């Protein structure tokens, strides 16, 4: 789950990283007194979950005098399609130099990887292309609790040595918060020390339970409802609803629909143990989506009870056409139930997808 800048800054501060003084403002808040302590020159930043915010006009410079107009202006903007409901007002730092630092997980090496660059505040992928020497990379063994000194020295090169300490503090925050990404861009030096001028944090969805986060804000309402039932659900834009078991098979079904000339409406993986109630709920979830004209059910598993699944489909009673492929135990009974209620059951994934694409046109 993505954490917004102001929350990420509070978390980084907890690990000892300095952040600019700031005030969060919601639409409609009375902020005139609270921002007075930030000094004359200030920065106003839209709090939206999207990269490239600066370029899209989400960060504005202001003074105490121009602040009301600037804040009003930002609340009126949409940044890459997202409405601005919260802005962060911060003191403007007297920046001497900008750096880049991030920590992610390297899947092939199975360990955290730290990236550091002498040039911050810009697109790091561009830096990597134009000046590979400016970007340094180090892998940290997962059993280490600190970044060893020699690695810190390697990463920062000739930059002030305080930056090495900041890297270590960020690493500790990365571990303690079950992060998939912890990034500071730019990380800046001023006369007063090293500051995180921006902050980005993504927390592992599998660890939200121990990070005190009850609700995954990355999901829309229907996706969250599905997750509460133990499903994985992603909304797409087409007209053919998809229900499968297992991520790979469901993805392959979505792909096959597209490759056969149809447009998938969603990805819905009902996971293992697809019983009557779960299948019924899944079918109704898609049945409620107006653009869905036909639903493909593709369930395969040794222990899937086909008669139960068939009952669930019938019980859902949605208006859309449903084409079904089931393989598991009690297949014949499942086929009989579906046929009795006018549903089609086919033998292979290809057949079921072809039938759905034809029905959707």
Binding site for other proteins (CB under 8 A): 104-105, 107-108, 110-112, 125, 141-143, 175, 178, 180, 204-207, 209-210, 232, 234, 236, 244-252, 254-256, 258-259, 264, 267, 269, 272, 300-303, 327, 348-350
Cβ count within 10 A of residue 122: 16
Asked whether the beta carbons of 297 and 325 are under 8 A apart, the reply is yes
Asked whether the beta carbons of 313 and 338 are under 8 A apart, the reply is yes
Three-state SS at 122: coil
Task: Please give the DSSP secondary-structure letter assigned to residue 57.
Answer: T
At its nearest, how many Å lie between other proteins and the CB of residue 350?
5
Cα Rg of the chain, angstroms: 26
- Closer CB to other proteins, residue 193 or residue 272? 272
At its nearest, how many Å lie between other proteins and the CB of residue 19?
24
- Closer CB to other proteins, residue 70 or residue 250? 250
Catalytic residues: 100, 183
How far CA 107 is from CA of 16, 104, 351, in Å, comes to 28, 9, 36
- Closer CB to other proteins, residue 89 or residue 203? 203
Cβ count within 10 A of residue 332: 9
- Closer CB to other proteins, residue 42 or residue 297? 297
Q: Rounded to an integer, what distance in angstroms lies between the CA atom of residue 101 and that of residue 170?
A: 9
Asked whether the beta carbons of 329 and 304 are under 8 A apart, the reply is yes
């Amino acid at each position: 789950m993505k954490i917004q800048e102001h929350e990420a800054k509070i978390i980084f501060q907890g690990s000892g990283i300095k952040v600019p003084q700031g005030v969060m403002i919601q639409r409609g808040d009375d902020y005139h007194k609270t921002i007075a302590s930030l000094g004359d020159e200030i920065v106003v930043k839209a709090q939206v979950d999207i990269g490239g915010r600066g370029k899209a006009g989400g960060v504005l410079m202001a003074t105490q005098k121009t602040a009301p107009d600037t804040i009003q202006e930002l609340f009126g903007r949409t940044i890459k399609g997202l409405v601005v409901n919260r802005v962060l007002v911060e003191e403007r730092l007297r920046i001497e130099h900008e750096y880049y630092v991030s920590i992610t997980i390297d899947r092939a090496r199975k360990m955290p990887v730290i990236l550091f660059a002498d040039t911050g505040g810009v697109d790091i992928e561009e830096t990597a292309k134009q000046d590979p020497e400016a970007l340094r990379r180090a892998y940290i063994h997962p059993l280490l609790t600190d970044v060893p000194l020699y690695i810190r020295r390697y990463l920062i090169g000739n930059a002030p040595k305080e930056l090495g300490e900041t890297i270590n503090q960020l690493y500790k925050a990365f571990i303690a918060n079950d992060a998939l990404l912890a990034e500071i861009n730019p990380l800046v030096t001023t006369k007063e020390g090293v500051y995180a001028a921006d902050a980005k944090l993504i927390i592992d969805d599998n660890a939200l339970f121990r990070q005190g986060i009850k609700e995954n804000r990355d999901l829309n309402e229907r996706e969250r409802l599905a997750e509460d039932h133990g499903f994985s659900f992603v909304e797409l834009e087409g007209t053919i609803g998809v229900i499968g078991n297992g991520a790979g098979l469901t993805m392959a079904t979505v792909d096959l629909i597209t490759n056969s000339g149809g447009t998938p409406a969603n990805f819905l993986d009902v996971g293992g143990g697809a019983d009557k109630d779960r299948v019924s709920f899944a079918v109704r979830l898609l049945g409620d989506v107006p653009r869905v004209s036909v639903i493909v059910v593709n369930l395969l598993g040794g222990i899937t009870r086909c008669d139960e699944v068939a009952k669930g489909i019938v019980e859902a009673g949605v208006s859309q056409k449903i084409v079904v492929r089931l393989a598991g135990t009690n297949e014949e009974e499942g086929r009989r139930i579906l046929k009795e209620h006018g549903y089609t059951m086919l033998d292979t994934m290809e057949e079921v997808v072809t039938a759905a694409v034809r029905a959707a046109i």
